[in-house]
């Protein structure tokens, strides 16, 4: 067992012990921070090995596997799927006209005004459809 393996096992045992013992929020928070730091450090190492500059989801999931937190990987993938669904839903909602807060009649009036301005601009400027005399 390498020193790194020993640290991982020690941290995992400490983390699980604190959760099981019903430790207060202060101690539990510290264990969570240590757990997150461990995963982030491992993901950073994986990121550097793959010659990337930014840690992405794949690095974090691989770090969970490498550290032996297979159960957490399944949960993380479920959360990731949920986050992507929420992101897609938000993107769809943000493009819908009914979410603009402007009545449809007003939007139609604004569109007609823009068309009229474009026609006027085209009539005053060069019109390439007319042949020179």
| Domains by residue range for the chain, with CATH | 3-99 (1.10.20.10)
CA-wise closest residue to 61 among 70, 52, 49 = 70
% residues pLDDT > 90 (the chain): 19
Supply the pLDDT for residue 15.
47
Lowest-pLDDT choice from 11-25, 29-43, 96-110: 11-25
| Total residue count of the chain as it appears in this document | 133
> Are the C-beta atoms of residues 43 and 61 closer than 8 Å to each other?
no
Mean pLDDT of the chain: 76
Question: For the range 94-97, what are the long-range contacts, defined as Cβ-Cβ under 8 Å and sequence gap of 24 or more?
Answer: none
How far is the C-alpha of 27 from the C-alpha of 15, rounded, in Å? 10
More reliable by pLDDT, 95 or 12: 95
Q: Of all residues in the chain, what percent carry a pLDDT higher than 70?
A: 67
pLDDT in tens, 53-92: 888 889 988 999 999 988 888 888 888 888 888 888 877 7
pLDDT average, residue stretch 90-105: 73
Per residue in 35-48, pLDDT tens? 888 988 999 999 99
Q: Please choose, from the candidates 60, 19, 56, the residue with its C-alpha nearest in 3D space to the C-alpha of residue 39.
A: 60
pLDDT number for residue 30: 83
Write out the DSSP string of 21-33: TT--HHHHHHHHH
């Amino acid at each position: 067992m390498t020193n790194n393996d020993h640290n991982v096992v020690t941290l995992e045992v400490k983390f699980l012990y604190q959760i099981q013992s019903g430790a207060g929020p202060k101690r539990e928070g510290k264990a969570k921070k240590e757990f997150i730091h461990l995963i982030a450090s491992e993901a950073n190492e994986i990121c550097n090995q793959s010659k990337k500059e930014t840690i992405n989801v794949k690095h974090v999931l691989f770090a969970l596997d490498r550290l032996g937190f297979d159960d957490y990987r399944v949960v993380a993938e479920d959360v990731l799927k949920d986050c992507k669904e929420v992101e897609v839903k938000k993107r769809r909602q943000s493009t819908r006209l009914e979410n603009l807060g402007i009545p449809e009649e007003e939007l139609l009036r604004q569109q007609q005004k823009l068309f009229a301005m474009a026609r006027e601009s085209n009539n005053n400027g060069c019109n390439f459809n007319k042949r020179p005399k």
